[in-house]
């Protein structure tokens, strides 16, 4: 079986989720206007991503409206707490996690959300960080024989990621995050993203919903998902994601892979059949293995599950009950 377990069980009376079709979810946008143009959407799309303004209106506008309400409640809570204590509380961002497989569309979702949320008047400063920047540099992965497990939990500098989130959540100024290049397939030396007390921080990555798994005798400690106020999991059948991954690989072979400086330049001259076989082998040995072992098991920890159909359009939404 290659298909992901469906969300049918989430319709059961005792499920922790409320289930919506895309059309039902779209009704929840109320009269929220769409502050996004076709040109802007094209700039937000990931490579090879298929998404229309209609889908943004149906799926992402209601989601931005919901998150706006949640953020407003948190801001009111800080105001009330400040009144109670008699002094202003430090500004603390609302942190949203976005998880899911490689090639499922996490980056596009995160960028669209960032743009929509920043256009609500009470939280105009929205930052976005991807956990790719917290991968160990290739030289360290090579030393540890982890290049074939890039994207697995052990390939990340989790300690640095947790320190980053802890500093941001504590309201610190000018917190730096490292930058990753998919072109060079490595961390970019001496380049960082600065996060300076945003109203909202979106954290996008493969394994961000994993709970901490202590070794014997270890004391409890915070993990990435502990810092999230809200979390989103992008879901789809595994066979569909495999197809999207291969399609993306074939497209990159004709574009960025052609640059001699690209890490994957060696794949640019493959025939179509060779490219499909290579992409499928990479998908199976690395991405599928990681999805089954580490990513998919965290799906039920999300506050919201967005499930895509084979056409890449979100068809079902599951919102965790309060």
How much is the pLDDT for 315?
A: 97
Instruction: Please say if the pLDDT value at position 2 is more than 80.
Output: no
Instruction: Please say if the pLDDT value at position 44 is more than 80.
Output: yes
Q: Which residue has the higher pLDDT, 89 or 255?
A: 255
Residue range 8-213+220-320 forms a domain whose CATH class is alpha beta
Quote the radius of gyration of the chain (alpha carbons, Å): 20
pLDDT in tens, 67-122: 999 999 998 888 898 889 998 777 789 999 999 999 999 999 999 999 999 999 88
Alpha carbon distance 195, 127 (integer Å): 7
97 touches 228 (CB < 8 A) = yes
Instruction: Please say if the pLDDT value at position 219 is more than 90.
Output: no
Contacts of 9 by beta carbon, 8 Å cutoff, 6+ apart: 15
Instruction: Please say if the pLDDT value at position 266 is more than 70.
Output: yes
How much is the pLDDT for 50?
A: 83
Q: Which two tokens stand for residue 314?
A: 């979100």
Instruction: Please say if the pLDDT value at position 64 is more than 90.
Output: yes
pLDDT in tens, 277-308: 999 999 999 999 999 999 999 999 999 999 99
Instruction: Please say if the pLDDT value at position 5 is more than 60.
Output: no
pLDDT in tens, 140-184: 999 999 999 999 999 999 999 999 999 999 999 999 999 999 999
Residue spans of the domains in the chain: they are 8-213+220-320
Q: Is 321 helix (H, G, I), strand (E, B) or coil?
A: coil
CA 58 to chain centre: 20
How much is the pLDDT for 157?
A: 95
Question: How do beta strands 94-100 and 200-204 pair?
Answer: parallel
How much is the pLDDT for 222?
A: 80
Mean pLDDT over 207-230 rounds to: 81
Full 3-state SS string of 151-162: CEHHHECHHHHH
- pTM of the model as a whole: 0.92
Alpha carbon distance 78, 73 (integer Å): 9
| Average pLDDT of the chain, as a whole number | 91
Q: Which residue has the higher pLDDT, 216 or 70?
A: 70
CA 166 to chain centre: 19
Q: Which two tokens stand for residue 141?
A: 């992965």
């Amino acid at each position: 079986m290659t298909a992901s377990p469906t969300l049918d069980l989430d319709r059961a009376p005792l499920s922790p989720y409320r289930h919506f079709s895309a059309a039902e979810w779209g009704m929840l946008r109320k009269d929220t206007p769409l502050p996004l143009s076709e040109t802007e959407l094209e700039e937000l799309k990931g490579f090879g991503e298929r998404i229309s303004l209609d889908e943004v209106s149906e799926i992402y506008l209601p989601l931005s409206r919901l998150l706006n309400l949640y953020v407003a409640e948190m801001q009111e809570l800080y105001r009330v707490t400040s009144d109670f204590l008699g002094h202003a509380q430090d500004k603390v961002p609302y942190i949203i996690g976005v998880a899911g497989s490689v090639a499922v569309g996490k980056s596009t979702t995160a960028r669209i959300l960032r743009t929509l949320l920043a256009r609500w008047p009470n939280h105009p400063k929205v930052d976005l960080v991807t956990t790719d920047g917290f991968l160990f540099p290739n030289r360290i992965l090579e030393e540890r024989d982890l290049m074939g497990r890039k994207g697995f939990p052990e390939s990340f500098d989790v300690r640095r990621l947790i320190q980053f989130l802890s500093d941001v959540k504590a309201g610190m100024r000018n917190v730096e995050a490292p930058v990753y290049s998919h072109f060079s397939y490595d961390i970019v030396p001496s380049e960082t993203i600065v996060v300076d007390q945003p109203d909202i921080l979106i954290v996008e990555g493969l394994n961000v919903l994993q709970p901490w798994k202590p070794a014997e005798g270890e004391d409890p400690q915070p993990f990435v998902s502990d810092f999230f106020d809200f979390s989103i999991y992008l879901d789809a059948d595994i066979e569909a994601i495999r197809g999207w991954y291969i399609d993306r690989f074939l497209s990159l072979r004709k574009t960025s892979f052609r640059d001699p400086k690209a890490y994957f330049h060696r794949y640019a001259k493959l025939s179509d059949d060779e490219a499909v076989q290579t992409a499928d082998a990479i998908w199976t040995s690395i991405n599928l293995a990681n999805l089954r072992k580490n990513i998919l098991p965290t799906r039920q920890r999300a506050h919201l599950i967005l499930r895509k159909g084979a056409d890449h359009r979100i068809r079902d939404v599951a919102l965790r009950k309060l």
